[in-house]
Structure formats: structure tokens, C-alpha cells
């Protein structure tokens, strides 16, 4: 069965991303067309990139990198849950992505973002990064507004429309993950 990792891309104390990622996971695990697992960056305690050799060579020397590589390698595709900080994604998510290379290749990725403008600028940044990592980013995405999908900018209360957006994103991530399977098998 296709395995999709849901990456919680914020490590900030009091983060809104935890409620968002749990919402994504709760909806995803009700499906029967893929297996889903929530991946919290806090569980990996990745420092700022501390590998001497570039990730494209796959010569990871640090135990935390090796554990992160095993986890990411075990999935066929991803949904990245990202905040928008200063027109981009979180430093923690970008750092976690930058630790690896081949483990991301030929996998699909979809995005669930949140921020004052729905986090769309963070997603645009991540789409460029995904392209460099040979990932297939799907068109559908969820853009959660701090004004409409949160109460007082902190209590997550998504509008019903967002459930449809999430299911469309999951549909595309699963389809593309399955379509890319022959490339991952090589």
C-alpha cells in the first residue's frame, strides 16, 4: 500500500501547525487508499545542517541524519504542513529538507499551509525546492487563513471548504505517488 508521510513543518513553541497537522492526519487516516503517518520535526531534533559531505552523495555521518533518512526513505509521498514566516516556509522545515537528497527523489508532495495570506508564498518557495529534489508537487493545496480558519489567530477551526481542498490534495498526492513508483524502483 502507498505510504504517505504528513510532515509537521514547525517546531515553534505554541505552534498552530500541530492542530493543523493533526486535522490533516485525522482526515487522511479515514481513507483506505493509502497508509498515513504524522511526522513531527520535533521528534528528530535536527540541528542546523551539520553534515560535511553534500546530501546528494548520500554519505550521512551523523546518527540524527541517518534516522531522518530512514524515516523519509520509507514513504512514497508527502504532505508538508507549513507555516508562512516572512514570505517563506519555516527554517526548521527547510533545514530538515536540506539534510537529504535521494530520499526525496521521485516522490509526490502536496502542501497544507497557513498564515495571514493562507501560507501560499511559503508553498511557492517549497515548490521550487521540491523541483530541485526531483519531487512531483501536486497542483491542489490547502491554504488556511489565520483570519478565517482560526479563532483569535490561534484556535484552529477550519471552514468546511477546507476539507474538500484537503481531500483533493490527498487524491493527487496518492495518484502521483503511485505513478512514480516505477521510477523509485530503479
> What are the structural domains, with CATH classification, of the chain?
3-185 (3.40.50.360)
Can you give the pLDDT at residue 153? 93
Q: What percent of the chain has pLDDT over 90?
A: 99
Q: Rg of the chain over CA atoms, in angstroms?
A: 16
> For the chain, which ranges sit under pLDDT 70?
none
Instruction: Tell me how far CA of residue 136 lies from CA of 63, 84, 139, in angstroms.
Output: 28, 21, 10
Can you give the pLDDT at residue 92? 98
Can you give the pLDDT at residue 186? 83
What does pTM read for this prediction? 0.97
DSSP string, the chain: --EEEEEE----TT-THHHHHHHHHHHHTT-SSSEEEEEEGGGT---S---SS-GGG----SHHHHHHHHHHHT-SEEEEEEE-BTTB--HHHHHHHHT-STTTTT-EEEEEEEETTTTHHHHHHHHHHHHHTT-EEEEEEEEEETTTSEETTTEE---HHHHHHHHHHHHHHHHHHHHTHHHHH-
Can you give the pLDDT at residue 124? 98
115: left (phi over 0), alpha (psi -120 to 50) or beta: left
Amino acid at each position: 500500500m502507498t505510504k504517505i508521510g504528513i510532515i509537521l513543518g514547525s517546531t515553534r513553541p505554541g505552534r498552530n501547525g500541530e492542530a493543523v497537522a493533526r486535522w490533516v492526519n485525522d482526515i487522511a487516516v479515514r481513507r483506505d487508499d493509502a497508509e498515513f503517518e504524522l511526522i513531527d520535526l520535533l521528534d528528530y531534533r535536527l540541528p542546523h545542517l551539520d553534515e560535511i559531505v553534500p546530501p546528494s552523495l548520500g554519505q550521512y555521518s551523523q546518527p540524527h541524519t541517518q534516522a531522518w533518512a530512514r524515516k523519509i526513505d520509507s514513504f512514497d509521498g508527502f504532505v508538508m504542513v507549513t507555516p508562512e514566516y516572512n514570505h517563506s516556509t519555516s527554517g526548521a522545515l527547510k533545514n530538515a529538507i536540506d539534510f537529504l537528497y535521494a530520499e526525496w527523489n521521485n516522490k509526490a508532495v502536496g502542501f497544507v499551509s497557513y498564515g495571514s495570506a493562507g501560507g501560499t508564498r511559503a508553498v511557492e518557495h517549497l515548490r521550487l525546492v521540491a523541483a530541485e529534489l526531483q519531487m512531483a508537487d501536486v497542483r491542489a493545496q490547502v491554504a488556511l487563513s489565520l483570519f478565517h480558519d482560526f479563532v483569535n489567530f490561534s484556535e484552529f477551526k477550519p471552514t468546511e471548504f477546507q476539507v474538500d481542498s484537503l481531500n483533493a490534495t490527498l487524491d493527487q498526492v496518492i495518484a502521483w505517488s503511485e505513478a512514480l513508483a516505477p521510477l523509485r524502483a530503479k
